[in-house]
Chains A and B, each alone.
Chain A
Amino acid sequence: MNALSHLTEDVHLAFPPRDNLAIEARNLDFFYGKTQALHGVDLPVERNKITALIGPSGCGKSTLLRALNRIYDLYPRQQAVGRILLDGHDVLADRKSLQRLRERDGGGDAEMVRSPVDVAGLRARVGMVFQKPTPFPMSIYDNVAFGVRLYRRVSRAEMDMIVEKALRRAALWDEVKDKLGTSGLGLSGGQQQRLCVARGIAVEPDVLLLDEPASALDPVSTAKLEETLVELRQDFTIVIVTHNLQQAARISNYTGFMYLGRMMEFQSTEELFANPRGQRTRDYVTGRFG
């Protein structure tokens, strides 16, 4: 810890006002087994904005993203300690997580209302798109309908409408409307990724998490995906992890720079790229390290 204390002097956080947040991480630690990957990270995410997370490989930005919908639950040795608030509900408020929080912070914050959350409900409201396109081995139509069918029983006609709307919003409709019955695996990489976006937004989540969604795509597909995300901002709140600094600068409203598991700087995107406060942020965005 002491060896890293110089890091805390270089922290510059200008968070958005707290009154219009879609999701928020507070004082979050994250562990892979005994290895600590996040150290007391705060991340307020403003509604209907795009928040980008940047930083060198291994800085914890993907880990932070994966904590927000608790997808790490799949792996028994990974655990998060802290708070993740979705509309005031703490998504880390199950018994085991609370126990760990008490061990860390003591019993000092009992005043906080901690309502338990069910993970399926959480994931219905916080969708995720991964680095590699992950279409399911089924038709394009069924890919988009998959999530909807988990939560609602809808008529065929209504489902047709939901699928069309999701594909339109993901800017994929015109390319696939004549082959909805064919396998999603037959699409190109960029189309597959937009199919995954459509699948994620078909369930009408509040928040959409994207983990380097363009890293496996060519420039044209990347541009299309970015356009789509900017469009989607009207209806959804987006958090995107990216290695591509221009991408963060092009599409995001806020940018967080992470380093060694800490949030080092958080500013509006314009500010962070035009006028970075921290030395490390400056070095990173000007390409001096990373």
Chain B
Amino acid sequence: MDRTLYRRISNIVFVVLTAAATLVALTALVLILWSLVSKGIGGIDSKIFTMTQPAPGSEGGLSNAIMGSLIMCGLGMAMALVVGILAGTWLSEYGGNTPYGHVVRFLNDVLLSAPSILIGLFVYELLVRPFHGFSAWAGGVALAIIATPIVTRTTEDILNLQPSALREAGMALGAARSFVIRKIIWKAARAGLVTGGLLGFARISGETAPLLFTALGNQFFSTSLTQPMASLPTTIFQFALSAYEDWQRLAWVGALLIAIAVLSINIIGRIIAREARRS
């Protein structure tokens, strides 16, 4: 066969295949979003944010679950940011090329893809059983363990992108290494660090499995860190599996709320990253 003709045909076949694959992926995404919006949008009203979850058949909202999600995600991110940024900084600036550094990086990558239900069980053994009770603390720790490797990874990647001339320029003025990292390198990388934090936040805001074993869920409004706490994912899990139609409707609303939150966090992260690249 003519060589050019063969190439033209194989090119067309390949383009059609990749386009079809893209179409499949996009269709799935659009269908999910469509069913979320169509089933959830009607249920959004002020009661969702002001009333706690109802008994079947009575009026109510999701305020306890929204508050619980915010508290536990905030708690988890606070821990994950401290540990993750310090660990990522160590990998990038100090020990990344030592044998210990390679081990740390490898374990971090393993943790990055660890099934979240395992993390839930781990924290159950660590914090729930010894203290004889589910608690928001345990939920926050489980979420922190999921977010930490994400923050560690992005921190290391972002810091590695900073030019070594910047470090040398700081050192050349006589500043100590740690001072250069804190005052110059972190500052130069701040947009990337914020993006890493937002990615971690987006990831844990939808996690269900690790919370089932740790914070359990709570049908009442609670801000106590030592008590079980409700969260959007666990409430969705509970309501969606129930037989009551009004509960199922609330589950759709909760799912839509999470989707909107994750989407806007990702968009904000992208905008920040792009602004930083421009300046």
Contacts and interface: CB of A to CB of B under 8 A. Distances in A.
A38 B243 CA distance: 81
A124 interface: yes
Contacts of A136: 166, 169-170, 183-184, 187-188
B163 interface: yes
Given A134-B165, A136-B187, A124 B170 contact: no
Given A134-B165, A134-B166, A127 B171 contact: no
Contacts of B176: 120
A118 to B, nearest CB: 9
From A69, A122, A136, A147, name the one whose CB has the most chain B CB atoms within 10 angstroms. A136
Given A132-B163, A134-B166, A127 B184 contact: no
B175 interface: yes
A187 B185 CA distance: 19
B95 to A, nearest CB: 11
Nearest to A125: B174
Given A74-B171, A124-B174, A147-B174, A132 B279 contact: no
B174 A123 contact: yes
Interface in B261-279: 279
Nearest to B168: A71
Binding site of A, secondary structure by majority: helix, strand, loop or mixed?
helix
Contacts of A107: none
Contacts of A264: none
Nearest to B186: A137
A137 B173 contact: no
A260 interface: no
Contacts of B31: none
Nearest to A73: B171
Q: How large is the interface on A (under 10, 10 to 19, 20 to 34, 35 or more residues)?
A: 20 to 34
Interface stretch (A196-204, A230-238, A265-273, A281-289): A196-204
Contacts of B169: 128, 130, 134, 136, 196
B188 A137 contact: yes
Binding site of B, secondary structure by majority: helix, strand, loop or mixed?
helix
B272 to A, nearest CB: 15
Contact of A71 (B166, B171, B179, B183): B171
Given A71-B168, A132-B163, A134-B169, A150 B188 contact: no
B176 to A, nearest CB: 7
Given A74-B167, A134-B163, A136-B166, A128 B172 contact: yes
Contact of A137 (B168, B171, B187): B187
Interface string A208-228: 000000000000000000000
Contacts of B179: 150
A128 B165 CA distance: 11
Interface of A: 69, 71, 73-74, 119-124, 127-128, 130-132, 134, 136-138, 146-147, 150-151, 183, 185-186, 196, 199-200, 203
28 contacts: A74-B167, A74-B171, A120-B176, A123-B171, A123-B172, A124-B173, A124-B174, A127-B172, A127-B173, A131-B165, A132-B163, A134-B165, A134-B169, A136-B170, A136-B188, A137-B184, A137-B187, A137-B190, A138-B187, A146-B170, A146-B175, A146-B183, A185-B279, A186-B279, A196-B169, A200-B172, A203-B173, A203-B174
Given A147-B174, A150-B173, 8 more contacts: A71-B171, A74-B164, A131-B165, A132-B163, A137-B187, A137-B190, A146-B170, A146-B173
